[in-house]
Structure 1
Amino acid sequence: MALSDMKCRNARPDLKLQKLSDGDGLQLWVPPTGARLWRLAYRFGGKQKLLALGTYPAVSLAAAREARDAARKLLAAGIDPSEDRKQRKVLQYGFGDSFRAIAEEYTAKLKREGRAEATITKIEWLLSFAYPTLGTRSIREIDAPAVLRVLREVEVRGRYESARRLRSTIGSVFRYAVATARAQNDPTYALQGALTRPTVTPRAAITEPKAFGALLRAIDAFDGQPSTRSALQLMALLFPRPGELRAAEWSEFDFDKAIWTIPSGRMKMRRPHQVPLSKQAVEVLRGLHAITGRGALLFPGIRTAKRPISDNTLNAALRRLGYGKDEATAHGFRATASSLLNECGKWHPDAIERQLAHVENNDVRRAYARGEHWSQRVDMMQWWADYLDKLMAQNGKTIERRSKPLSKV
């Protein structure tokens, strides 16, 4: 019996999938979830096939019948309606529907949006694990078990965190495909909880004041590259993310206003960040300028001045000072500053969070706090530098940082 609009509207879900027929292969599917889905069942090349025609009531009964009639005309002409739809989408968007084609288009979109080069490289590296198995397959044919097989191949190597990030990245590709009408769903949602949860090991950091003072004295006595010593001193004084400091350029520093402005392209949250410079930080920077000030970078690499020092340079320097990876890391200076600044009770927690460039999740609160706490942060950073000088003191005397003042920067 043919369907009516009233019957479509009154269709209610049951414990099992219901298939209401309108004739000539047109069916209204009502799964237990309550959705109402138009499907066209047909045979082509001796095989039973299915074509999705949309959802009711977004696609009315009349529109679904028109789509059915159009599909039957294609069948009469010897054309598979499913393949015809795929070809039309290729012509519409100018690309194929393979997983790799869509993934590469997705990464190209991220590049146009100005995502950090390191982020793009990491995404492309993760996707390389999926290409051998999924790369040439139509994204519509890839289901959750197929994705899980790829993730398991990464898991068996003990790379649990990489497997979890790969699931997220594959999910982003699928959601992009859904948005561009080349996929109907993201199968990675069904894999939540299917992967081994990695053990999270926090980065090592010294948070006891006396022990931190010993580290500061060791840094001051560092006998390696003077620029590396300056980098460690600035990590302690300014506690940025290591990558933000390593790639810093002299043009970002305003010594008259005592401000370091980090551009959005190097910030984790893609927002520019300003750092107040204490007198001690300016002194270290002036000394460093005498060494590397002729170039653009504060910390140029040894092989080429066009690239900064590697991400391992600072950690290697800490190892050379005798601090193991379970004792101190370059990133750990942030945890040290956060702990000691909060424990002293002198500064508003929001000011500390803003200085750490931690972004408020609430959009309204973030907009309100954008310019908040600047004057307190200026005072806090000078207090922090003075406090570090006290921690460095031996026998009541403060050690002067080894740097060469420059008359003009």
Structure 2
Amino acid sequence: MQKALTNKTLEALKPQQKRYEVHDLHCPGMSVRVSAHGQKVFSVKFRYGLGQKRMKLGVFPRITLATAREKAQDILRQVDEGIDPTKRRRSPDMKVEAVCGEFIRLHAKARNKSWREAERILEREFVGTFGQRDIRDIKRFDVLEIMDGAVARGSTYQANRILSNIRKLFNWCVERGIVHATPINGLNVDRRA
């Protein structure tokens, strides 16, 4: 069954002997399942690879219709970008190590012939230092610390490579909504302060 879901239509859905599903006309892929006990659960269906998947969004009215649609749109956007949201959901911690791995797999490999060099630099310098920290907690001074270490070893060139790769990583994170803003805007190896 398909309906243009509203709060009124959701409240009017009554339990039946068997569980049933109502698909939302305003958000293709999203539906609400009504159990025999009257529980109303939002979910979203999507194709990833060859398989069809379903993700639970929440129970009405604890989660609003508007929030369910936002979550569904976000999940469908991830699928369009080649991300399996069922895997991302299982690792919501956003640790530096996991995010760098996704960045290399989804971005660097596809766009950069020298992605192995980017992976090596990020693994050694960034993941090696902050691997288990939440990437959203990384601050400007954390990146400066890594760059200062490279300069102290006598490698300004390496400091530039580190900065370049971390900048690309954070720009990708901003595009994906992992972080709201990059902590290294305007940062330059020659004018660190």
User: What TM-score results when the alignment is normalised by the length of structure 2?
Assistant: 0.48
Higher-Rg member (1/2): 1
Query: Would you tell me which structure has more strand in proportion to its own residues?
Result: 2
